[in-house]
Structure 1
């Protein structure tokens, strides 16, 4: 299982500092949506230049203008870019085709994606499907949400999960066994970022 660290709601220098602390224990460095909104594609190239040995994900959350946004992210150095599953199917198809053209990966964020739409999206069988608990939803548990909808995810080869991930739910995440675990504040807001990242890595390896 790969660990993706989400860098959000900080400036670029702080993002770099956090990523440096966690680098040895994470596989994917996410340039969060807030960084992209604050700094544009410069934020992606900034992280790419400093972390050449890590996979870089641009959480651009594309809803429209798929070709322009995905090309911009890949040309800035991203290895993976995100599109929202509830966006038009034409947009997702464009993003998928651009990712294949660049030999990069597409992550489809399933936040607020309907059952019928998810069934339609399964044709993108090498895409990464992100089961994402919204930050603003404080009343839903990631594990409960996943298990309640587990039948919908059957047949999907590549799954990422994230949203309010904490150490105490790792045992349940291991049972889900996603390809990618997205971790945000449990690492990035820790008083000891390196230790927090190492603990996540060690607990998942157990």
Structure 2
């Protein structure tokens, strides 16, 4: 089970320092959509340069112009790039082709994707499927619930408001990648928060495998 650190709504210097602070407790580092929008492709290149041994996720949220955007991200050093599940099949197929070309992967963001569309997306079995509760939705509820739909045989990710207290329940739902943002980056002690996430994940995973 992988911890993906989501870095958003901060300056690049802050993002790099945050990633460095928690590096030993996280597996993948996500260059968030807000960083890409504010600092461009340089945000991906900077993260790759500072963390050559980590998997870098570019949360591009591609909807169109797939080949061009995938080239930018993978050439910039990303290992994984996100595309929206609501995009057309031709867009998702182009993303997969580019991922194969660069020996990377794509993550399909299932934000607002209904079950009917999810069934159509199952043909893309090389992708990571990410169930995602949006930031705006998180701000309008006291309790974030991530619905992990059945993706048997696929690599699965979960994102959106995951906290240390909700982590055990999330682990029981069986995602392969747990994406954590504010619960680490806005903690009083991010290094300790990340350590506790990793410790809890290892403990709960062990319990669930018994």
SS at structure 2 position matched to 1:113: coil
Could you tell me which residue of structure 1 aligns to residue 154 of structure 2? 157
Normalising by the residue count of structure 1, what TM-score does the alignment of the two structures yield? 0.94
SS at structure 2 position matched to 1:136: helix
Could you tell me how far 1:192 is from its partner in structure 2?
A: 0.6
CA deviation digits over 1:149-168, x for unaligned, max 9? x3xx2434100001000011
Could you tell me how far 1:113 is from its partner in structure 2?
A: 1.1
Could you tell me which residue of structure 1 aligns to residue 206 of structure 2? none
* 1:39-188 map, 5 Å: 39-137=39-137, 138-139=140-141, 141-143=143-145, 145-146=146-147, 150=149, 153-188=150-185
Change (3 A) 1:122 1:140: farther
Take 1:24 and 1:119, find their aligned partners in 2: how far apart are those partners? 37
* 4+ residue segments displaced more than 6 Å: none
Take 1:146 and 1:113, find their aligned partners in 2: how far apart are those partners? 12
Could you tell me how far 1:115 is from its partner in structure 2?
A: 1.6
Could you tell me how far 1:141 is from its partner in structure 2?
A: 4.7
Could you tell me how far 1:174 is from its partner in structure 2?
A: 1.5
CA deviation digits over 1:109-163, x for unaligned, max 9? 00011222111111111210000011101338544x415xx3xx24341000010
Change (3 A) 1:156 1:133: farther
SS at structure 2 position matched to 1:146: coil
Structure 2 gap ranges (5+)? 204-210
SS at structure 1 position matched to 2:135: coil
Normalising by the residue count of structure 2, what TM-score does the alignment of the two structures yield? 0.92
Structure 1 gap ranges (5+)? none
8 Å CA contact 1:85, 1:109 repeated in 2: yes
Could you tell me which residue of structure 1 aligns to residue 31 of structure 2? 31
8 Å CA contact 1:122, 1:156 repeated in 2: no
Take 1:141 and 1:154, find their aligned partners in 2: how far apart are those partners? 24
Could you tell me which residue of structure 2 aligns to residue 191 of structure 1? 188
Take 1:155 and 1:203, find their aligned partners in 2: how far apart are those partners? 24
Q: In angstroms, what is the RMSD of aligned CA positions?
A: 1.2
